[in-house]
Amino acid sequence: MSIYEIRDMAIEIDGKQLVEGVNIAVEAGQCTAIIGASGSGKSLSCLTPFGLTPGVARGSITLDGIDLIQADAHQMRDARSRLTGFVFQQPLTALTPHLTIGAQLQEAAAQAGPPRSSRHELAQRLERVGLSRADERLDQFPHRLSGGERQRVMIAAAIAHEPKLLIADEPTSALDASLRGEIMALLDELRLERGLAMLLVSHDLASVEGHADQLIVMDQGRVVESGPTASLITKPQKEYTKRLMAASARLDEPAPQLQEVGDILLEAEAVAVTFPRPGWRRGKIKAVTDIGLHVREGEALAIVGGSGSGKSTLGKAIAGIGPLTSGTIRWQGQPLPERRARTVAMRALIQPVFQDPVASLDPQWKVRDIVAEPIKHLQPEILRKDRDAMVLKALEDVELGEDYLSRMPTSLSGGQAQRVAIARAIVASPRLLVLDEATSALDPLVGSSILQLLRKLQQTKNLSIIFITHDIASARRLCHRIVVLDEGAVVETGDMDLVIRNPQAVTTQKLIAAS
Amino acid sequence: MLALVARRLMTAVPTLLAIILASFFLMRLAPGGPFDGERPLPPETQAALQAAYGLDKPLWEQAWIYVSRLVQGDFGPSLVYRDFTVSELVAQGLPISLTLGGLAIILALFIGISAGLFAAVQAGKAADKAIMMFATVATALPTFVTGPALALFFGLWLGLLPVSGTGEGWSWLIMPVVALALPVSGAIAKLTRAGLATVLKQDHIRTAKARGLPETKILFKHGLRPALVPVASYLGPAAAGLLTGAVVVETVFGLPGLGRYFVQGALNRDYPLVLGVVTLYAALIILFNLFADLIYGWLDPRMREG
């Protein structure tokens, strides 16, 4: 008898059926993981039984003998407060900003009714989830903690009342690659130590395969396939599962065939970027120090590092959209001036693509105008008629049709929006694209199709690419060489496969372990 | 926290100085002078008066003299109420104006926050719509309409409250305070409701719900404080509005507050009196903005940094 069991569940919101035929079972001390792309109904299936979404669930749902479908408000609160703990995706926003860590942990510990915990007990709970200086942190507000620390606090709060079921909705997706493994290991440890039943939700197969006992693959509100993790991964039955497996980049897959590279196109030498400290404090923050790198014609270079490593700052300085404090950037041997002094022709050479595709498109503009904008500024001499043809060509290049011309960004999916952003970047025929985490916000299937698109564009247009990412496995599918950054400095660089096979720097080893 | 206060007080000095100098020169640009009566004074008397008050000196020098006296706490003599100094006049009016403004802002906060909270909880229902409509009306009605209307209804028709002056007890305060507080409370109600509507959708509210907390606890412990951030940023401008609004209310209800001296001083070109009141208003508004910033930091600890 499972501790938590869902049979034939359907969920509707405003009369629209979004999920149907879902069966989930979680045993004490075991982990069941739901895998699916965004919009597959995986989070909905997890949170709706507890009344935490606007959806209404039907079917049969029992948690430790309580029927959650029939439960009245009182029983539902009891199911939430006594039996279940929740860890959510966004540690940055999931904690109440104006209450101290101690106050929130106290509330969590007392939610099932036991007397107030002493300060010492609270500090012990924080230590248990791996937080140092626990006593000091009790008095801190959430914004003083890093994302990983906050997620540890969330976990401490989720298990403080000794629940039987832990529901973790994308607990590591918002975290740095190197932190993900640590947080998953902590969840495993706590699960085994307390015999917790755990229901894990993720879009990323690779991040759960070593942790889940049972796997459920969802797509478009239905269960595609489910079963024990090991057999499902080795012998997937359904086409969708196979595609999903193929989409998540793995380091043990065969190396891709990349195209030949030409002469050195861009060269950066002793690049440094410093920012003044915020507020009235003195001194500077050194975001990037003394970095040298080069990109050849037709070559893709991966700049890899954790968050705060300075990789985005470096990318912006190269693309001429961010500050450059000192150092030189040369284009085919000629120095490129700092960003404000670059001519229109120089700007046209290097174009950026950003992480969040929807946020990087103006929501008030049509796709036609978004893609046409670089031509208007970079090649103002081009006539309107020719411009329209160029826009259409760029959309075709990113595999979008004419019917996208008059769409608005809000009507696009993440993958479509990123294709539009790439069309905007290539429309004025640049020689170098700087992609900042361009696939990180996308589902694995969509992200891998964007990577394929980039490879195709690189080959047909002999484009050079700087691919900034935290994910070495994805970078390997596209890039010839790799530069690993840590704390604003290069710690390792070289041929992609050589570095992966024999990483020297600790940072590189950590990033590879996390992939 | 202390650093913020110190920094704000440091920037307050140049701000005040700029306000004083700007008002000083703007006022002098206006035609007319303090000694222009219905019958013009003989030129020699005019000249003697001008000399006695130092008005014959170059403008820059007068400004310098004014500011250096102000630093010593001397607001100068009134040019029209010749037996009084500006300090004496202000000392008479300020307590009334401060009581009026202070009570009005407390009342407005109380009415506004409770109404906004209730509307947010009832979002979309009839009560919500009624409150929001009432808030719009309250915000739109000027005090020179609500003031006389209140006086007519409660003072003249029902005879419950005094219509004018500062009579016995506290009953004379009720109508002016209500008239002053109404538009501000309407705005606060709208801000509170909008703030709560945003906050109640946020992730940390879902976390609180997931803990099985009762709705009221979620609302007051996790929701209300961040929702009041917009209200706190409105408090600075609201205080300015109350001070200037007090001018109208004091006139309508015949109260001897600062507002009366302000208006009459301006009409009579009583330069030191107007400057004195302007300086005081400016200082109060700066102080209130600082106060609003401190509340801000309490509402959302993230604001305490930098």
Query: Nearest CB to B203: which of A90, A98, A108?
Result: A90
Contact by Cβ (8 Å): B161, B174: yes
Looking at the domain assignment, is residue B175 inside a domain?
yes
Domains of chain B: total? 1
Looking at the domain assignment, is residue B52 inside a domain?
no
Looking at the domain assignment, is residue B287 inside a domain?
no
Return the SS3 of A202: strand
Chain B hits for A88, CB-CB cut-off 8 Å, are: 203, 206-207
Query: Nearest CB to B212: which of A77, A99, A141?
Result: A77
Domains of chain A, CATH where assigned: 4-247 (3.40.50.300), 264-358+431-514 (3.40.50.300)
Tens of pLDDT along chain A (515 residues)? Answer: 688 999 899 898 888 888 888 999 998 889 999 998 877 888 889 999 988 888 888 888 988 888 888 888 888 888 888 889 999 888 778 899 889 999 999 998 888 777 788 888 899 889 888 888 888 889 888 888 888 888 889 999 988 888 899 999 988 877 777 778 888 888 898 899 889 999 999 888 877 888 899 999 998 889 999 989 888 888 888 888 888 888 877 777 777 888 888 889 999 999 999 887 765 566 777 888 889 999 999 999 999 988 778 888 899 999 888 888 888 999 998 888 877 788 888 888 999 998 888 888 998 999 999 999 999 988 888 888 899 999 999 999 999 988 899 999 888 888 899 999 999 999 989 999 999 988 887 888 888 899 999 999 998 999 999 999 988 888 999 999 999 998 889 999 999 999 999 999 988 888 887 77
Chain A hits for B232, CB-CB cut-off 8 Å, are: none
Residue B228's closest chain A neighbor by CA?
A: A98
Looking at the domain assignment, is residue B286 inside a domain?
no
* Below-50 pLDDT ranges, chain B: 306
Looking at the domain assignment, is residue B266 inside a domain?
yes
CA-based nearest residue to A129, from A176, A90, A171: A171
Looking at the domain assignment, is residue B262 inside a domain?
yes
Q: What is the CATH number of the domain that holds B209?
A: 1.10.3720.10
> Which pLDDT value is given to residue B87?
85
Using the beta-carbon criterion (under 8 Å), do A80 and B207 form an inter-chain contact?
Answer: no
pTM of the entire structure? 0.77
Looking at the domain assignment, is residue B8 inside a domain?
no
Q: Which amino acid is located at B60 in the chain?
A: W
Contact by Cβ (8 Å): A331, A346: yes
Contact by Cβ (8 Å): A423, A397: yes
Tokens representing residue A412 in the block: 């696009």
State the helix-helix crossing angle for A367-378 and A384-397, rounded to 10 degrees.
120
CA-based nearest residue to A296, from A265, A322, A257: A265
Where in the sequence is the domain holding B232, given as residue range(s)?
A: 99-271
- Which residues touch A221 (CB under 8 Å, ≥6 apart)? A11, A17, A18, A19, A20, A40, A41
Query: Nearest CB to A88: which of B206, B221, B306?
Result: B206
Using the beta-carbon criterion (under 8 Å), do B213 and A107 form an inter-chain contact?
Answer: yes
Q: Supply φ then ψ for residue B103, to 5 degrees.
A: -65, -40
Looking at the domain assignment, is residue B250 inside a domain?
yes
The residues on B that touch A, with CB distances below 8 Å, are 3, 7, 202-204, 206-214, 221-222, 225-226, 299-302, 305-306
The β-bridge partners of A352 are A434
First-to-last C-alpha distance (Å) of chain B: 10
ipTM exceeding the 0.90 mark:
no
Cα separation values, B200 from A2, A320, B182, B193, B230, Å: 34, 40, 27, 10, 15
| Whole-number Å distance between alpha carbons of A197 and B235 | 50
> Which pLDDT value is given to residue B25?
87
